[in-house]
Amino acid sequence: DNTVADAVLDRLVHNAHRIELAGDSMRKQRASPLLTPAENGETYNP
């Protein structure tokens, strides 16, 4: 039911804490063998 889903999400968002993380994403590290560095958003800086 849309009304129930809306109520549940309101409660989740209202009681949520935002956590900001620094550093590279683990998703990039796992995806890097499948993509070239350019496709993975990496740049080469010697």
- Which pLDDT score is estimated for 34? 63
- Which pLDDT score is estimated for 9? 92
- Which pLDDT score is estimated for 44? 65
Q: Which one-letter amino acid corresponds to residue 20?
A: E
- Which pLDDT score is estimated for 33? 61
φ/ψ of residue 42, rounded to 5: -90, 150
- Which pLDDT score is estimated for 18? 86
Give DSSP secondary structure letters for the chain. Answer: -HHHHHHHHHHHHHT-------S--HHHHHHGGGS-TTTTT-----
- Which pLDDT score is estimated for 8? 93
Q: Please, what are the averages of pLDDT over each run of 10 residues along the chain (46 residues)?
A: 92 87 75 64 67
